[in-house]
């Protein structure tokens, strides 16, 4: 087994928070995500301390399961030092996968403390490997909440275990290494913005791990992620775990996807374009940042000629796409055919200028009566609606001159007074300069007189 058998990549984004308290490690054989808690400085330092506890594993090919799990104890010590420095409670989740060798046999060791997650994706199926250490997960396990109710529960952000809470232990599983299996470690910011079905759809198109991680983060941000979002994707492309390999008492996670199904998926895995797409909707490949938010809502792709940011913004508000302004070729062609030239829409500067001249400004279309998206067969639309803290609505900005500026609109007595004042100022400066020159001439004459007398 070599480090080259493993590959991975990660991405992170702040979301709607003021600072990013997440940290990640994507250096084979360690692929770790940490979600810090305790405030901006303390949280960020706590998550980074967790990552540094795992960093010594990077580049090694002889990591054993006990050593990988022992990194959690070093992480606890490091986070405790962070808390002492800041004089406040600091903590972090930790989750991820480490490529290990158990008696010379290659495995993944998946570990978890907190509510970050590790998923396994293979043969078109997404499965959660880890179990959330959270209040709502306990209620779900007890049958008191459904997974859908847990998403809106007031205690959905309460974590029952974390690095830095004074507790001990870590959940670990050996996961067989298969070339058709992709492991995805994520912070809770991703799962609050995207459903498991959407995550699976984005992973289905394959690609390099770094591109997949970035695509998931971009999709979460486009869906209105309110928390930091971090994703690390890892894959084993070399030696696999033999069937029936001895585990020496370590717990094993196998999932519902069989080894035969994973093996059958290998020829088509990792060969698709890294661009992310939720539903097959056309053959063009516009910018990924545009495809993700538009296709997640099940809408048609924007035309390549339209500005992506304008199209996405209009569609989020439920408005029709803006017509592109005519270019020079369109105007020339219209003139050659004897047709009237298309009128460009007035911008803010044009409206203000017209109003200052006392001319009527161009009418502005009223906003739509409702910005709610049209319904459809895509169940994920409801999830995105629930997670958004507020709706983006179209607003019209009318430029109206305040009373203090109104006299400027009438070039009358006020302007005459200003011009007269300017003329007086110029005359005053001219007098000052003339007097100065005369005084200098007088001094020169006096100096000549005194010299002649001496």
- What are the DSSP calls for 158-182, one per residue? -BS--BTSS----EEEEEE--TT-E
Per-residue confidence at 186, pLDDT binned at 50, 70, 90?
A: very high
Each residue of 317-340: pLDDT tens digit? Answer: 555 544 544 444 444 445 545 555
SS3 312: helix
CB 236 within 8 A of CB 108: yes
Q: Say which residue the tokens 């301390």 belong to.
A: 49
Average pLDDT over residues 131-153: 91
* CA distance linking residue 341 with residue 333, whole number of Å: 9
Largest distance between two CA atoms of the chain: 124
Do 213 and 25 contact (CB within 8 A), yes or no?
Answer: no
Instruction: In whole angstroms, give the CA distance from residue 99 to residue 110.
Output: 9
* Res. 218 pLDDT band, cuts 50 70 90: very high
Q: Which token pair is 79?
A: 């986070």
Ranking 90-104, 150-164, 200-214, 346-360 by mean pLDDT, the lowest is: 346-360
Confidence of residue 416 (pLDDT cuts 50, 70, 90): confident
Q: Residue 150: pLDDT above 80?
A: yes
With bands split at pLDDT 50, 70 and 90, how would you rate the model's confidence at 236?
very high
Is CATH 3.60.40.10 correct for 3-273?
A: yes
The reported pTM is: 0.61
Is 162 within 8 Å of 91 (Cβ atoms)? yes
pLDDT at 418 over 50: yes
The pLDDT > 90 percentage for the chain reads 52
The answer, yes or no, to whether residue 354 has pLDDT greater than 80, is no
Residue 379, preceding peptide bond in cis (omega within 30° of 0): no
- With vertex at residue 377, the alpha carbon angle to CA 218 and CA 256, rounded to the nearest 5 degrees, is 70
As a whole number of angstroms, the distance between CA 220 and CA 241 comes to 33
- The answer to whether residue 414 scores a pLDDT higher than 80 is no
Using N-to-C axis directions, what is the helix angle for 196-203 and 209-222, rounded to 10°? 140
In angstroms, the CA 86 to CA 72 distance is 21
More confident residue, 1 or 224: 224
């Amino acid at each position: 087994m070599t480090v080259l058998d493993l590959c991975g990549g990660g991405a992170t984004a702040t979301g709607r928070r003021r600072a990013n308290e997440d940290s990640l490690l994507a250096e084979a054989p360690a692929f770790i995500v940490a979600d810090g808690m305790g405030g901006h400085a303390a949280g960020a330092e706590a998550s980074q301390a967790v990552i540094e506890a795992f960093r010594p594993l990077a580049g090694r090919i002889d990591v054993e399961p006990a050593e990988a799990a022992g990194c959690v104890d070093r992480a606890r010590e490091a986070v405790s030092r962070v808390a002492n420095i800041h004089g406040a409670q600091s903590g972090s989740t930790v989750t991820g996968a480490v490529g290990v060798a158990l008696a010379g046999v290659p495995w993944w060791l998946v570990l978890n403390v907190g509510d970050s997650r590790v998923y396994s994706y293979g043969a078109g199926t997404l499965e959660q490997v880890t179990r959330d250490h959270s209040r709502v997960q306990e209620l779900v396990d007890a049958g008191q909440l459904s997974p859908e109710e847990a998403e809106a529960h007031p205690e959905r952000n309460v974590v029952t275990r974390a690095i830095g809470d004074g507790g001990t232990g870590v959940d670990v599983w050996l996961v067989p290494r298969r070339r058709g299996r992709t492991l995805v470690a994520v912070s809770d910011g991703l799962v609050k913005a995207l459903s498991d079905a959407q995550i699976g759809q984005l992973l289905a198109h394959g690609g390099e791990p770094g591109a997949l991680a970035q695509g998931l983060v971009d999709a979460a941000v486009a869906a209105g992620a309110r928390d930091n979002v971090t994703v690390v994707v890892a894959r084993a492309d070399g030696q696999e775990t033999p069937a029936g390999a001895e585990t020496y008492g370590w717990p094993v996670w196998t999932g519902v996807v069989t080894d035969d199904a994973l093996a059958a998926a290998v020829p088509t895995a990792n060969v698709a374009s890294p661009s992310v797409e939720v539903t097959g909707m056309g053959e063009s490949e516009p910018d990924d940042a545009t495809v993700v938010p538009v296709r997640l809502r099940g809408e048609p792709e924007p035309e390549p000629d339209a500005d992506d940011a304008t199209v996405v913004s209009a569609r989020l508000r439920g408005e029709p796409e803006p017509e592109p302004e005519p270019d020079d070729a369109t105007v020339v062609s219209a003139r050659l055919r004897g047709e009237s030239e298309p009128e460009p829409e007035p911008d803010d500067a044009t409206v203000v200028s017209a109003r200052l001249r006392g001319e009527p400004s161009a009418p502005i279309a009223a906003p739509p009566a409702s910005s709610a998206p049209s319904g459809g067969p895509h169940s994920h639309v409801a999830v995105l609606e629930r997670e958004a803290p507020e709706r983006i609505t179209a607003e019209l900005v009318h430029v109206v001159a305040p009373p203090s500026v109104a006299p400027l609109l009438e070039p009358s007595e006020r302007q005459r007074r200003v011009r007269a004042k300017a003329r007086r100022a110029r005359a005053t400066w001219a007098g000052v300069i003339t007097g100065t020159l005369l005084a200098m001439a007088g001094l020169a004459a006096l100096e000549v007189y005194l010299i002649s007398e001496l």
